[in-house]
Amino acid sequence: MSIFDLNINLIEGLLYSIFIAKIFRTQFKNSYKIILIFTFLLCLNISLYNYFSLSEIYYTLSMQVILFLMSEILNPQQNISNLFISMLVDTFSLFSNTLTIMMNQVFFNNSLSYVILVIVSKIIFLLFVLFIPQYLNKFIQSQNIKNRSFHIALLSLLILYTLIFDSLFYEDTMNIKLYIMILCIIILTISIYKAIQYINTVHNQQLENQMIIQELKLNNKNYLQVEHSLKVLSKSQHDNLYILEHIKKLNQNQNTLIDNFIDEQINLLNKKTNPIMTGNTTLDYILYQYSAQIEQYHIHLSYTKDTYQCPLPKNIYYTVLNKMMDIVIDACQDNESSLLSIQHGFMDQQFYIKMTFPLTDHIHQEDIHLIDLQLREYPHILINERDVNVYILGFMLKKELD
């Protein structure tokens, strides 16, 4: 075995190790010992195979064992996914060899030397190592990785691909059928992956829709409860005011302490009976609901008054306002005091509402996406803007809704 072959074997072993480490996003400084150890083991295995001309079955099985062990160390307790990754990495190496053989037969009529073929093959494998791991990492994080049937299907295709690839070396001339079979296996593998990915997406969308329906039902009940509670509270406060006024008349200024106490209680009740009047009933209910948090986090509230109601169904509008206020409260909770400005009404015959509040790190686009999701059946424009030290959140309904 020449020095060139040993160097190529070492490079190939290193590419294998880096490939797996990059798939699991392993930091080199934390795992360089593991990478070096398995690089040596892989290089030794490749060298033994070449030197003693061992069988293809031995080589394939030994490579899978080494790659699987490395995957287990970097990604413990994930046996099925690690087996899949180890076979897939080996398949990319085989695929780089396949492309090299195809180029040599199709474009150069088998005229390229062994050295050039090996170098071209490793360059192709290097490109796979540089660009493929980021996509495989997304794959192993997805729900597909938990699907045993999916793994069985892909593993079967990978084994079939390996067997067909080995048969290429027993052909003296270019065999179109073998290349067509390899191409069909690759297309079938990608198609299975895409099909299961689509099925998972549809399933997740159905679950998401069910959650939205349940949330709307719950918010509809909450809306009715808040509406009833406020009516009862308003009537109770009105009755208390009447009683206090009546007691004051009966006292007839005979005891100034009683008069002063009654006046204080009347003033307190007057403040509580009319704290929020935006003109929009649903918005009033929401602000009543969050009044404790508004007071707790010292949020100064300002709002425009507009008697026009939102064209959305009340439970939808109530749910969206709930999510908007949750975002506002999270953004304001770290400040000693904050200003929340609410503007709502109609502009060019289009209903809009927007909340302006302090800009902080507590604002997450995932939460804002939920607002957009709730409104997806209604033509709208999501207001989601950053300004100087403030964040503007809201939506505008398009005319098509009417």
**Distance of CA 254 to CAs 246, 263, 265, Å?**
14, 15, 18
d(CA 262, CA 181): 93
Cβ neighbours for 106, distance < 8 A, ≥ 6 positions apart: 174
Structural domain span for residue 354:
275-402
- Answer whether residue 199 is part of any domain: no
Residues 168 and 36 in one domain: yes
Residue 23: which residues within 8 A CB-CB, separation 6 or more? Answer: 85, 89, 133, 136, 137, 140
pLDDT at position 119, please?
94
Domain end marker among 150, 174, 198: 174
Dihedral, CA of residue 196, residue 88, residue 147 and residue 366, to nearest 10: -70
Is residue 288 domain-shared with residue 145, that is, in the same domain?
Answer: no
Q: Which residue did the predictor score with more confidence, 66 or 105?
A: 66
Q: What is the CATH number of the domain that holds 361?
A: 3.30.565.10
How much is the mean pLDDT over the chain? 80
CA distances 49 to 39, 124, 138, Å, are 15, 22, 34
Which stretch, 172-181, 246-255, 319-328, has highest mean pLDDT?
319-328
Environment class of residue 287 by beta-carbon count within 10 Å: exposed (0-12), middle (13-18) or buried (19+)?
buried
pTM of the model: 0.53
| Residue 149 domain-assigned (yes or no) | yes
Residue 253: inside a domain: no
Q: pLDDT category, 282, cuts 50, 70, 90?
A: confident
What is the rounded distance in angstroms from the CA atom of residue 262 to the CA atom of residue 248?
7
Last residue of a domain, one of 159, 174, 189: 174
Q: Return the SS3 of 389.
A: coil
Q: How far apart are the first and last CA of the chain?
A: 80
Within-domain flag for 351: yes
3-class secondary structure, 313: coil
Nearest to 43 by CA among 70, 15, 12, 21: 12
Mean pLDDT of all residues in 356-368:
85
> For 252, left (φ over 0), alpha (ψ -120 to 50), or beta?
left
280 close to 320: Cβ distance less than 8 angstroms: no
CA angle 341, 342, 345 (to 5 degrees): 150
Residue 127 or residue 376, greater confidence = 127
**Low-confidence winner among 128-132, 187-191, 368-372, 379-383 (lowest mean pLDDT):** 187-191
Q: Of all helices (H) and strands (E), which one includes residue 300?
A: strand 299-303
Q: Which residues pair with 342 in a beta bridge?
A: 303, 355
Any domain includes 321: yes
What's the confidence (pLDDT) of residue 388?
Answer: 81
CA–CA distance, 69 with 84 (Å, rounded to integer): 12
Looking at the structure, do residues 8 and 119 belong to the same domain, yes or no? yes
Looking at the domain assignment, is residue 254 inside a domain?
Answer: no
For residue 25 the two structure tokens come to: 């996003």
399 φψ region: left (φ > 0), alpha (ψ -120 to 50), beta (else): alpha
In angstroms, how far is CA 150 from the centroid of its own chain? Answer: 22
Q: Confidence class of residue 126 from pLDDT cuts 50, 70 and 90?
A: very high
For residues 143 and 291, state if they share a domain: no
Among the ranges given (35-49, 166-180, 342-356), the one the predictor scored with the smallest mean pLDDT: 166-180
Q: In what order do the strands lie in the sheet with 299-303?
A: 299-303, 338-347, 350-358, 390-397, 380-386
Asked if residue 165 and residue 36 are part of one domain, the reply reads yes
**157 and 302 housed in the same domain:** no
**Cβ neighbours for 87, distance < 8 A, ≥ 6 positions apart:** 64, 67, 155, 158, 159
236-263 residue pLDDT tens: 766 676 676 767 676 666 667 766 776 7
Task: Give residue-wise pLDDT tens across range 190-211.
Answer: 787 777 777 777 777 776 667 6
Structure tokens belonging to residue 342: 């609410």
Distance (Å, whole) CA 198 – CA 191: 10
Q: Are residues 167 and 40 located together in one domain of the fold?
A: yes
Q: Is residue 282 a part of any domain in this protein?
A: yes
Let me know if residue 104 belongs to a domain. Answer: yes
Residue 129, pLDDT > 70, answer: yes
Contacts of 373 (CB under 8 A, 6+ apart): 208, 212
Looking at residue 229, what is its pLDDT? Answer: 65
Count of structural domains within the chain: 2
> Pick from 130, 149, 174: which residue ends a domain?
174
Predicted confidence band at 35 (pLDDT cuts at 50, 70, 90)? Answer: very high
